[in-house]
Amino acid sequence: MPTLTVEGIGSFEVPQGKRLVNALVDECGVDQLHACGGHARCTTCRVDFVSGEPSKITKAEQEVLAAKGLAGSAGVRLSCQVLCDADMTVRVTSRLEGSGRQDAGGRPADAMQPEPVEWLDK
């Protein structure tokens, strides 16, 4: 079971293979935004990886990051497209607090969406 560390908040035990976005909400108690409901359509669930960034990326995430001009930003990843398979440390940069939004977005499904038919090397 990996340890997920959120800078400035704490370190948390996370079920193996859980979607990072849901772990941030459930285990870490972070008001993480996920406006599209975890479908890799927006970038509000993005986090900055401090360490433990996965080397694999879904095709959907790669396309969205490229389309939004974030592909070149070191460590920026969509938490809805990351699974907690190993210890990782992130910085949360896109929270409900201060966003002006009414809510964080629909609850992302337990399984990754869209189904990651293709994993690429980042």
Partner 1 sequence: MAAIWRLAMTFVVGLAWGSCVLATAADADEQGFVSIFDGSLDGWEGKTEFWSVADGAIVGQTTAENPTQGNTFLFWRQGELDDFELRLSYRITGGNSGIQYRSRDFGDFVAGGYQADIDSGPTYSGINYEERGRGILATRGQRITIGTDGGKTTGEAIGDGEALQSKVNAGDWNDYRIVAEGPRLRHYINGQLMSEVVDHEEGKRAEKGILALQLHAGPPMKVEFKNIRLKRLPLADGRKKVVFVAGRPSHAPGEHEFRAGSMLMADCLEAHCPEAVTAVYTNGWPTDPTAFDNADAIHFFADGGGGHPVIQRNRLAEIAALAKRGVGIACLHYAVEVPREKGGAEFLDMIGGFFETHWSVNPHWMLAETELAAGHPITRGVKPFEIQDEWYYHMRFRDGDERVVPILTAVPPDVTRERPDGPHSNNPTVRSSKGAREVLAWAYERPDGGRGFGCTGAHFNRNFGDEQFRKLMLNAVAWAAGIEVPEDGIVSEVTAEALAANLDAK
Cβ proximity to partner 1: between 12 and 49 the closer is 12
- Please say which residue, 13 or 118, places its beta carbon nearer to partner 1: 13
How are strands ordered across the β-sheet holding 3-6?
Answer: 10-13, 3-6, 88-92, 46-51, 76-78
56-58/3-6 β-pairing: unpaired
Site for partner 1 in 18-37 (CB under 8 A): 18, 26-29
Task: Examine residue 11 and tell whether it contacts partner 1 (CB under 8 A).
Answer: yes
CB 2 within 8 A of CB 72: no
Q: How far is the CB of 74 from partner 1 (least distance, A)?
A: 26
Interface with partner 1 includes 16 (CB under 8 A)? yes
Binding to partner 1, residues 56-85 (CB under 8 A): none
- Report how far apart, in Å, the C-alpha atoms of 86 and of each of 4, 15, 99, 114 are: 8, 10, 30, 22
Residue 17 or residue 67: which is nearer to partner 1 going by CB?
A: 17
13's tokens:
């035990």
Contact positions toward partner 1, by CB under 8 A?
Answer: 1, 3, 9-13, 15-18, 26-29, 110
